[in-house]
Chains A and B, each alone.
Chain A
Amino acid sequence: MDKWDRLQILEDIKRLKARYFRMVDTHDPEGFANVFTPDGVLDLREAFNAPNMKEPASASSNPTPVRPIVIEGRENILAAAKKGMNMLSVHHGHMPEIDIQSETRATGIWSMEDVVWKVRDGKLGAKMHGYGHYHEVYEKLADGWHIKVCKLTRLYLLMEG
């Protein structure tokens, strides 16, 4: 790998994560699942708990249909995405720290912010606003770079309404 190849990989992985966010927010479950490797893991165990909260969000206080679980494999990620994309959401990633370990493996940490509204009968309901980090492992397959492991940790979460 020469330096240009390394820079190209950084750009490819930034694009991959941009697609991850856009597929969530524009409600494209297939596109979202295809961001991951077939054996990809989405670890949301810490996604609904933050240092500013007395206890993790419960099923009733969490305005999203997503639960704090580990989802393994593209098929299961697709199924969860199909069920979970009935909210209005905005996700942004910032300031990636990407390490390329080989031509087919890399790791990354992304700062993130999200705003999620529950939608009922076309009206916005409870809102969640959060900040945190994604901790990720990437793998290059025949069809390009994919996320192999994605774990979300939180700095702050505010539940409103």
Chain B
Amino acid sequence: MDTCDRLLAIEEIKKLKARYFRCVDTKDAEGYGNVFTPDGVLDLQIAYQAPNRSPSAGSPDNFSLVLKGRAQIAELSRTRGGSRISVHHGHMPEIDIESETRATGIWSMEDIIWYPSGKRRKGYGHYHEIYEHLETGWHIKYCKLTRLYLDPE
């Protein structure tokens, strides 16, 4: 890959992650699913643990914490999306292009969720990701969220 191709791949992956966030926050479940490869994995096992929270704190939404495949991932967006308002931002990606079809990345992130109960939860953390290039372009193959901080329960 020459420099131009590598830089374009980095830009395309930045756009992919922008679409990820926009589909979450605008509740576009199908669009969200299509951000991932068909066998994509969304790993939220430690997404609700933060140094400032009790280690046993679980998901407030009561959904499975490892979602495998586009259908499960889209279903997550469909079931939790309607009941809350969310804003997600990604910052300062560190993207490595490993080949024409594979890349990895780390994104700093910030989110705010407003629940129907009126409760507001703010969080910060990092996404750790693997990307794969298919005929339909770049997709997320693996996405894991780790936390620096989450508002307490």
A138 and B9 CA atoms in complex are apart in Å by 25
Tell which of A1-9, A51-59, A75-83 binds the partner.
A1-9
Interface of A is mostly: helix
Q: Total A-B pairs in contact (CB under 8 Å)? A: 58
How many residues belonging to A are interface residues under a CB distance threshold of 8 Å?
24
Interface of B is mostly: strand
A93 within 8 A of B: yes
Taking CB atoms and an 8 Å cut-off, the chain B residues in 54-95 that contact chain A are 91-95
Q: Interface size class for chain B?
A: 20 to 34
Do residues A21 and B108 form an inter-chain contact, with CB atoms below 8 A? yes
A67 within 8 A of B: no
- List chain A residues, Cβ under 8 A from B126: 22, 26
A131 within 8 A of B: no
A4 and B4 CA atoms in complex are apart in Å by 6
Q: A4-46 interface mask toward B, CB cutoff 8 Å, 1 = contact, 0 = none?
A: 1101100100110111011001100000000000000000000
- List chain A residues, Cβ under 8 A from B92: 14, 17-18, 21-22, 92-93
Q: Looking at the assembled complex, report how far the CB atom of B133 sits from the nearest CB atom of chain A, in whole angstroms.
A: 18
- List chain A residues, Cβ under 8 A from B41: none
A100 within 8 A of B: no
A92 and B51 CA atoms in complex are apart in Å by 19
Q: List 10 A-B contacts (CB under 8 A).
A: A4-B3, A4-B7, A14-B92, A15-B94, A17-B92, A18-B106, A88-B148, A88-B149, A90-B124, A92-B91
7 shortest A-B CB distances, which residue pairs? A18-B92, A4-B3, A90-B124, A18-B94, A92-B91, A15-B94, A4-B4
